């Protein structure tokens, strides 16, 4: 994200009562980024219980004003997440380039 000129934080706590954290958040907006790793393996996040917890977390964040984006580890490794952010935040990136 830094290559795109986006300021971000990691492990952003967002809920007033729960200890939920976003994997990444963009500093200048309420955009949360969640990395869904190991989606092809049986594990904590790919079980019914884990998926339900992830839904609860994302839904709560949405209701608190966050726009939540989900990317797989494949999206990260193949550059698809970066291309998505560049495409959909192009206007914001362009403004940042003109300002500084």
Q: Is the alpha carbon torsion for 82, 47, 9, 13 positive or negative?
A: positive
Asked if residue 30 is part of any domain, the answer here is: yes
Asked if residue 11 is part of any domain, the answer here is: yes
- pLDDT tens digit string along 40-63? 566 555 668 888 999 999 999 999
Identify whether the C-beta of residue 34 lies closer than 8 Å to the C-beta of residue 8. Answer: no
pLDDT confidence of 89, banded at 50, 70, 90? confident
- Rounded distance, CA 59 to CA 64, Å? 9
Range of the domain at 65: 2-90
CATH number where 81 lies: 3.40.960.10
Asked if residue 100 is part of any domain, the answer here is: no
Tokens for 10?
């990691």
> What is the total residue count of the chain?
100
Asked if residue 96 is part of any domain, the answer here is: no
Tokens for 23?
């994997």
Question: Domain count of the chain?
Answer: 1
Asked if residue 98 is part of any domain, the answer here is: no
pTM, to two decimals: 0.79
Asked if residue 60 is part of any domain, the answer here is: yes
- What integer pLDDT is reported at residue 99 of this predicted model? 43
């Amino acid at each position: 994200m830094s290559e795109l000129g986006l300021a971000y934080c990691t492990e952003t706590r967002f809920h007033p009562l729960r200890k939920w954290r976003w994997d990444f958040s963009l500093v200048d907006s309420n955009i949360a980024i969640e990395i869904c790793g190991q989606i092809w393996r049986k594990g904590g996040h790919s079980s019914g219980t884990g998926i339900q917890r992830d839904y609860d977390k994302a839904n709560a964040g949405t209701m608190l004003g966050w726009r939540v984006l989900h990317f797989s580890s494949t999206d990260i490794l193949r550059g698809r997440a970066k291309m998505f952010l560049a495409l959909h935040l192009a206007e914001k990136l362009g403004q940042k380039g003109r300002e500084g």
